[in-house]
A and B are shown apart, each in its own frame.
Chain A
């Protein structure tokens, strides 16, 4: 990082463009040549479409006819006249509220276990990681079957201990918890990030803590957790962004049902766009999602100053 800051530091910038040597000009040319594919992709498939999408969100547009300007009408009707929007938002918030903290805590706990020097830990790591790389469609189909009220494994297991399991995906009360439970199956995916973080904690910190008479729990609380806080923060930010975009499970498993109880935000957006072809309205939904995620990320960034510890801070 320091190298980068160097090359744009005021001292060098002052020398100005005419001050750049021929070598530097050539290097700059090569830089832009190298990143050209990304520049084209970014402007053509990200930045441009983003602006166009904002324009669409202010239009009525069904693809067949050119877009017609309607101003803020889409936004107004989303907020005042669209119960499905609120349902989708509620379902998504519900899902996020449970699945993200459970997922982060679960993967952290698992990483602590897998960081122990026990034999066969590699095998365990592989096993825990496996569910998270299953293709979403395949694991959705698998879980439909696991949650089958009559013959599914979940209810068969529950009946062994005398519990009559719910209808899961067919019950509006249990459908969201079912999907959250299914999400926890893939908890090992986040574990890898925590394992990487754990391996970056300098050993001397623990030695120092032991010398000071810290118990295992105190070591965890005052060494491991602070050192891992950037990873926890990262997992929360990416987890919320990811879970707000949950789609495939509800599309394949429940089609948003029963009674719209699993109509998640992106599923609703998908329907508006690609089943009803209301591209303007869907673009407005997309921008609202974007604003929600930016707000959340910004808020977390603000709060993070209170609890996230960066090693680099020591040096500053």
Chain B
């Protein structure tokens, strides 16, 4: 967190050093301000559009502040599609995947981090390699398999895979964190007659709350926003998740920009809220993976 680029040369005198530090800081601020306002502008534009009437949206003279503010865009947007049904489907899928993937990856990671067995190194290598595998190579046979199992057009197709391992990246991230927990703690518990399940539940998991939170957030975001799996598995509009519902809405009302923006905001809001609440863990989570190759 310390300014590293700005460490001055020893030969520089104290005054010029201070001057330079101020200059660097001002420059950094300036770039950060310009950059962040550039990135924020699309968000503001989104909110602004969502509160405008059609005539304001296509007006030749552009304004940021809608006048009048058309709050009804939001209620209208939610009426156009069965919003509550889609929300229900999305919440169901996301919460089931959260339970499944979090518990599965927590247990699998424990095995890889704390238990010795022949074949472990090789299997861990396989796990790492599988993170790079493009999903398209497995997509079609998995689709055929799920169809045979009767999971086509059923939310099961989106939920059940989460219970099978919980995602290579999540396992990897948790394993990296578990590795930092001293083995002496686990050994002591073992001597006291604690089973491996007991060690995971009573010692490792409580010590890994930041990592588990990070993984939980990743799983939540991934499933809430997932577009591809619902797209190929769900055919009835009744069964749609919000991501598909939003797309449906867009294909039906492609020119009603204020409604589209309102719907997109409502859809993205939970993600943004979760992100604000857990952003510390987000960043920590990435740090944890120790991505040094």
Q: Which residues of A contact B (CB under 8 A)?
A: 4-5, 7-8, 13, 17, 24, 27-28, 30-35, 37-42, 44-46, 48-50, 52-53, 56, 63, 110, 112-118, 121, 124-131, 133-138, 141-146, 148, 150-151, 153, 156, 185, 188, 192-193, 195-201, 203, 206-207, 210-211, 213-216, 219-220, 224, 230-231, 233-234, 237-238, 241, 244-245, 247-248, 252, 266, 269-270, 273-274, 279, 282-283, 285-287, 289-290, 293, 297, 308, 310-311
Contacts and interface: CB of A to CB of B under 8 A. Distances in A.
A286 B137 contact: yes
A170 B131 CA distance: 36
Interface stretch (B79-87, B91-99, B108-116): B108-116
A315 B263 CA distance: 56
Contacts, number: 305
A161 to B, nearest CB: 14
Interface centre among A56, A143, A145, A290 (most CB of B within 10 A): A145
Contact of A135 (B40, B140, B243): B243
B171 A38 contact: yes
A207 B10 CA distance: 10
A129 B221 CA distance: 14
Given A42-B130, A138-B246, A131 B39 contact: yes
Contacts of A237: 132
A31 B42 contact: no
Interface in B8-66: 8-11, 24-25, 28-29, 31-32, 35-36, 39-43, 45-46, 49, 57-58, 62
Nearest to A192: B286
B164 A31 contact: no
Contacts of B136: 245, 266, 269, 285-286, 289-290
Contacts of B247: 137, 252
A44 B146 CA distance: 11
Interface centre among A28, A32, A35, A48 (most CB of B within 10 A): A35
Contacts of A124: 32, 36
Interface string B110-131: 1110011110110110110010
A141 B164 contact: no
B182 interface: no
B165 A37 contact: yes
Contacts of B36: 124, 127-128
Contacts of B271: 133-135
Contacts of A50: 133, 137-138, 141
Given A35-B123, A53-B140, A213 B11 contact: yes
A56 B28 contact: no
Interface of B: 1-11, 24-25, 28-29, 31-32, 35-36, 39-43, 45-46, 49, 57-58, 62, 104, 107-108, 110-112, 115-118, 120-121, 123-124, 126-127, 130, 132-145, 147, 161, 163-166, 168, 171, 196, 221, 224-225, 227-228, 232, 243, 246-247, 250, 257, 260-261, 264-265, 267-268, 271-272, 275-276, 279, 282-283, 286-287, 289-293
The 10 lowest CB-CB distance pairs between A and B, nearest first, are A41-B164, A34-B111, A38-B165, A28-B117, A135-B225, A49-B141, A41-B165, A31-B117, A31-B115, A49-B138
A231 B271 CA distance: 27
B140 A215 contact: no
A87 to B, nearest CB: 18
Contacts of B3: 115-118
A30 B115 contact: yes
B126 to A, nearest CB: 7
A33 B111 CA distance: 8
Give the interface SS of chain B, mostly helix, strand, loop or mixed.
helix
Contacts of B123: 35
Contact of A145 (B135, B257, B282, B283): B257
A230 B293 contact: yes
18 contacts: A34-B110, A115-B4, A118-B25, A128-B39, A131-B39, A133-B221, A135-B243, A137-B267, A141-B261, A145-B260, A214-B9, A245-B134, A245-B135, A248-B227, A274-B232, A283-B140, A286-B136, A287-B137
A273 B140 contact: yes
B140 A31 contact: no
B29 A127 contact: no
Contacts of B9: 210, 213-215
B101 to A, nearest CB: 10
Nearest to B142: A49
B293 A201 contact: no
A141 B246 contact: yes
B10 A130 contact: no
Nearest to B255: A148
Nearest to A138: B264
B258 to A, nearest CB: 10
Contact of B225 (A137, A193, A195, A214): A137
A193 B291 contact: yes
B184 to A, nearest CB: 13
Interface centre among B120, B137, B275 (most CB of A within 10 A): B137
